[in-house]
Structure 1
Amino acid sequence: MLVFVWYAGHLLDVNLVQHFAFVALFPALVLACWGWRALWVLAFPLGYLVVFAVPWGDALVGPLQDFTAHFAVRALELTGTPVLLNGREIITPLAVWMVADACSGVKFFFACTALGCLYAYLMYHRWWKRVAFVALSAAVPVIANGLRVYFTVLIGETWGLKYATGTDHMIFGWQFFGTVLVLLLLAGWFFRDSLLVQEHSPAHDDTFASARSVVWLAAIALLIAGPVLAAGLAAPAASETMHLTAPTIAGWSGPMAAEGGWRPTFKGAAGQVRASYRS
């Protein structure tokens, strides 16, 4: 089914559908070839792949921009800086600061959340600790980005725009985000669980070996079917020669042979006819 979902996304030229269907093929193949037990054992890496390998974060850019702008303005008001918010523009006595798409913090949000999920899976065994750390990993970058914009505006208002724009602006942002990430991981380290070593005896089950071979062959056939259908759709249709005749128009003399010079180009046309008329 996912192959046909990918093919539908290819027909509609929707990249998100194609990306999701392709990535979701991996857990589907594990389920089809090795069963529910293997899927359960590999649940975290496969779920991690599905959630973070699909580029679905564009929808978060706008809300993150709005939150960052309101957070920074509120912080500036609390510290006594005259400020006015106009949409996503932060207006101060010295300059107008724009919370652009690049300032939304969506990249840091996904990087921090992805690292937080991996960290929680490796460091904790209790489910509530994992959930709490993942939630913290998602909230911290959003608040940190608001603080970054606040400090950037405050530095520009206090020491001048040259210290808050250009290369200094980028260096400060990455240093700030790096510091926040290190502090987050250090905070999680103090609450880590002790390492549990579990021994699993190898299980050998050849009962369904032949059935799994059939499933493998069917899965490979379906995986090949999608690109083949897409290639067939993209291939140019066979050219057909269609004999066309220019019509006779009442009140006009013609059709006559068209003069040379400029002529339009119609890609994939089955036939073309050119003629000229005189009134």
Structure 2
Amino acid sequence: MALILKQSTKGGSPRKMEAPDIKQQRQALWQIATPFMVIALLVAMFFPTFIGLSSSWTKWDESLSHAYPLLLWFLVLLYKAGPIEISMQKKWIDLLLAVALIFTSIAWFLFNTIQIKILEQLTLLPLLFLSLAFIFGVKTLWQLRFLLLMPVFALPIWDYLNNSLVHLASYVVGEMVRVIRIPALIDGSSIFIPAGHIMIADGCSGLRYLIISLALGYTISYLNGYKEKGLIVSLLIAGLLGLAANWIRIFLLILVGYHTEMESSLMRDHETFGWIIFALICFPAIYFAPVIKKPNTNAPINGTSFSIKKMLVLCLLLSPGFWLGKVVVATNNTVQSASSYSLGDSGFLPHASNLPLPLVLPATTHTSRFVAPHNIYLQINQYIPKSSSDRLVPYIARQFDLQFWLQEEVKIVSVGDKKVRLEQLRQKSGLKRIVQVQWFDIGGFNAATVSQAKLLQIPAVFSGNQYFTVFTLQTECTQIDCHSSRQLLLAASESIQ
């Protein structure tokens, strides 16, 4: 009897126990690999967006130079979070997620077609969230919410803070200079000291320090297991430290420039100097950050198994934007013509001279210049896409040099049946003033700002009128308050249709 029991134990029972173990191991492997399969699927389906992002991530001297290391770290943390639990959810939730995936995919197609890059790139995040919720369940998505938000620090949405950060840095550093009573003239983002001119330009906004410090604060919060309240406090402290590092850097450069009469090598190359200050300020904060013992969040292998059918369904749900993009590229071969316009009765005549303050605009399809009585200058820049890959509304950043000109006033006003942007500019350390009125025509739709023009690309593209026109009127002020000059420009702009 003992021999029979030994044979049964050796030959039967272990073999029966091997099958569940192998099944669990395979299930665990699938639960670890599936998030990476979803990410690979998103890259394949929306490849043009990732190509555009890659060009920003490889500009090592700009605000997203940290993107590749951050994304690599995100993938490592995603791997360490596995195996990710597949939670059961009701069919109607799956149906809602499926509808949301289809509409988000179509939204990506629209943004990609009309070349609104920031919205196109932002669409990747909801696509990732919805895809993982569809595969793993909404409950699991909520458990991973802090980790899955980490890639937001690799998207160029932060660039829209740059102008505000330049103004903030100018104000804070200006106050620091006033406190120590250095002889200096502070004019907007320019600081004039006896030995020269220090300009707080875009690169001095502190945006890079801000994003990296926020990303570090977010990572520390995630690793230490902070909840929402702790995360918010951590981000506030990290953001303040990143900005403070930049303000101290600029202030020290002003001191160096003042005491060396602008002869120090730091005045020409201060990149490394800035990162040293950043490290001296932020690394101690990282070291002394409170640590909360994080419980083991690795989910047990449950009975819900990975479904290859659900992955195939996900491919179908993500595909509408991909295939619509292929159709548009194949059919969009229409050659557009320039828009027509009337200059009204303001007395505009063709003129070869440039505007009093020449604009910095992308290369145009056609440019026309005119002049009217009272030295009112008009410039019309027209853009017509030559192919489906060209933007209807090109990228327009600052139209004048901040090193020499200061924006004193800007507002949107109604002129006749359109809205225009009225702007008053002053030459730094001088009295010369320029008044400018500008508006845009996007396929027959008028806009006063570039952001509005970007949105109006949608009806313009689908109406078939793919042209973009910039109308700019300028005149030099002959009075201190520029009131008469503004009225003359507004009257002239009303007659242009």
Shorter-chain TM-score bucket reads 0.7 to 0.9
After superposition, the CA RMSD in angstroms is 2.4
> What's the counterpart of residue 205 of structure 1?
304
The structure 2 residue matched to 1:41, chosen from 143, 164, 169, is: 143
Relative to structure 1, is the Cα distance of residues 43 and 84 closer, same or farther in structure 2, using a 3 angstrom cutoff?
same
TM-score norm. by structure 1 comes to: 0.76
- Identify unmatched segments of 5+ residues in structure 2: 1-102, 335-385, 388-497
Task: State the structure with bigger RCO (CA 8 A, min sep 6), 1 or 2.
Answer: 1
Structural mapping, 1:231-250, within 5 Å? 231-235=326-330
* 1:193 match: 292
Task: Tell me, yes or no, if the aligned pair for 2:217 and 2:238 is still in contact at 8 Å.
Answer: yes
**Aligned-partner SS, 1:142:** helix
- Kindly indicate which of the two structures has a greater share of residues assigned to helix: 1
Matched, 1:217 2:312: yes
Who is 1:98 aligned against? Answer: 199
Report the alpha carbon displacement of residue 89 of structure 1 after superposing the two structures with TM: 0.7
Whole-angstrom CA distance in 2 between matches of 1:76 and 1:103 = 16
Residues 1:126 and 1:5: Cα distance change in structure 2 (over 3 Å)? closer
Q: Find the aligned partners of 1:3 and 1:54 in 2 and give their Cα distance.
A: 18
One-letter amino acid of the counterpart of residue 196, structure 1: P
Aligned length: 233
Amino acid at match of 1:23: L
Distance 1:221 1:197 in 2: 35
1:198–1:235 Cα change, 3 Å: closer
Match of 1:23 in 2: 125
Question: Residue 23 of structure 1 contacts residue 54 of structure 1 at CA under 8 Å; is this kept in 2?
Answer: no
Aligned-partner Cα distance in 1 for 2:173–2:139: 49
2: CA distance between counterparts of 1:218 and 1:126? 34
Name the residue aligned to 2:238.
137
CA distance in 2, matches of 1:238, 1:62: 38
Listed as ranges, the matches of 1:1-279 within 5 Å are: 1-49=103-151, 51-125=152-226, 127-163=228-264, 164-167=266-269, 169-188=270-289, 191-197=290-296, 200-205=299-304, 215-235=310-330
Asked whether the equivalents of residues 124 and 130 of structure 1 are also in contact (C-alpha less than 8 Å), the reply is no
Which amino acid in structure 2 is aligned with residue 101 of structure 1?
D
> Which position in structure 2 is the counterpart of 1:261?
none
In structure 1, runs of 5+ residues without a counterpart are 240-266, 269-279
- Write the distance in 2 (CA, Å) between the matches of 1:199 and 1:21: 29
SS of 2:293's equivalent? coil
Task: State the distance in 1 between where 2:275 and 2:212 align.
Answer: 13
Q: Match of 1:166, as an amino acid? A: R
The alpha-carbon distance between structure 1 residues 201 and 214, as it changes in their structure 2 partners (threshold 3 A), is closer
Q: How far did 1:158 drift?
A: 1.3
CA contact (8 A) 2:107 2:321 kept: no
Q: Deviations over 1:146-176 (max 9, x none)?
A: 1111111011101331323122x22211211
Q: TM-score, normalised by structure 2?
A: 0.44
Alignment-mate amino acid for residue 42 of structure 1: L
